[in-house]
């Protein structure tokens, strides 16, 4: 999977939305302190940048050096290239010592992970009790009825055959993903909790976002162009209806799973 994202890193950086400040404020309000955060699968550092404004230090890791090369350089963020799977010894060497991290965040990546192995690492590295793990995802953006209907056809008829099984966990908004943690203070479940962000996009921006999908890259590697001429024309017609504006507000709904570790 790392190789797949290598080839679309620039599309990912340009096309993906930023995450809403309310998301990070909610997460930070549930952590025992704001000393150290670990952003796993940081990609181009979108989440790491926001975490760096709250936590004293951030460790941001990814399996893709290309993605990391696009990440913002801030004095309290340490970027680390890591292998796809790590032993506990490698976590200690590459990330941090046992029971030292306030929060582990995973932005739109948890569905790609080896969850049993990863959760073992999370439980080992988080402060006890009360260290927090927070993972969020989104799936399809919302523009208007016309564009959204074409996007649904695009997914069902073109993209879905090239989606990895893990993508279904994101489509399900992480409702069914295995998440073995206790509810954080103030709530009685681990989510999903709902947030949203908006991005002003023209149609080219929107296509850049669609090209950042893993299904698009998988199809391209098989010689298939998902954004065929016919598909592009359908999007163009839908984009020009209703308000007639070249740029539109695109809403990205997010689903957050958040939990804490006990005395392990």
Smallest CA-to-CA distance from 217 within 16, 76, 8 is with: 8
Query: Residues 6 or more apart from 69 whose CB is under 8 A from it?
Result: none
- Please give the model's pTM, rounded to 2 decimal places: 0.88
Residue 4 confidence (pLDDT): 46
Question: Domain map of the chain by residue range?
Answer: 2-142+165-199+252-260
Smallest CA-to-CA distance from 31 within 123, 99, 101 is with: 101
C-alpha dihedral sign at 70, 73, 76, 82: positive
Q: How far apart are CA 264 and CA 257, in angstroms?
A: 20
Q: How far apart are CA 198 and CA 196, in angstroms?
A: 7
Query: What architecture is domain 2-142+165-199+252-260?
Result: 3-Layer(aba) Sandwich (3.40)
Residue 15 has pLDDT above 90, yes or no: no
Residue 238 has pLDDT above 50, yes or no: yes
DSSP 8-state secondary structure symbol assigned to residue 111: G
243-262 residue pLDDT tens: 667 899 999 999 999 999 98
78-115 residue pLDDT tens: 999 999 889 999 999 999 999 999 999 999 999 999 99
Instruction: Find where tokens 């010592």 sit.
Output: 97
**Model confidence band, residue 218 (pLDDT cutoffs 50, 70, 90):** very high
Q: C-alpha distances in angstroms, 153 versus 15, 51, 140, 231?
A: 20, 36, 12, 9
Say if CB 58 and CB 52 are below 8 A apart: yes
34-89 residue pLDDT tens: 999 999 999 989 999 999 999 999 999 999 998 898 899 999 999 999 998 899 99
Query: What b-and-e string marks burial along 34-52, b requiring 16 or more CB atoms within 10 Å of the CB?
Result: eebbbbbbbbbbbbbbbbb
Q: Which helix (H) or strand (E) segment is 117 a member of?
A: helix 115-125
């Amino acid at each position: 999977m790392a190789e797949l994202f290598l080839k679309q890193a620039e599309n990912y950086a340009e096309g993906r939305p930023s995450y809403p400040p309310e998301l990070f404020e909610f997460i930070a309000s549930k952590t025992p302190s704001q000393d150290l955060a670990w952003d796993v699968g940081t990609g181009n550092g979108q989440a790491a940048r926001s975490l760096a404004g709250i936590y004293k230090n951030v460790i941001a890791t990814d399996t893709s050096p290309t993605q990391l090369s696009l990440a913002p350089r801030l004095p309290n963020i340490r970027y680390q290239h890591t292998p796809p799977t790590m032993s506990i010894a490698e976590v200690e060497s590459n990330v941090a010592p046992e029971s030292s991290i306030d929060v582990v965040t995973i932005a739109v990546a948890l569905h790609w992970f080896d969850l049993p192995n990863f959760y073992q690492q999370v439980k080992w590295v988080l402060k006890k009790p009360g260290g927090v793990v927070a993972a969020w995802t989104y799936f399809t953006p919302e523009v208007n009825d016309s564009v959204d209907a074409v996007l649904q056809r695009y997914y069902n008829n073109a993209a879905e055959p090239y989606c990895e099984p893990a993508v279904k966990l994101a489509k399900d908004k992480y409702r069914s993903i295995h998440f073995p943690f206790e509810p954080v203070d103030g709530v009685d479940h681990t989510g999903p909790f709902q947030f949203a962000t908006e991005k002003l996009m023209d149609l080219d921006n929107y296509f850049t976002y669609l090209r950042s999908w893993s299904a698009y890259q998988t199809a391209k590697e098989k010689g298939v162009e998902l954004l065929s001429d016919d598909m592009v024309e359908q999007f163009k017609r839908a984009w020009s209806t209703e308000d007639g504006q070249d740029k539109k507000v695109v809403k990205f709904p997010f689903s957050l799973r958040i939990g804490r570790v006990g005395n392990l």
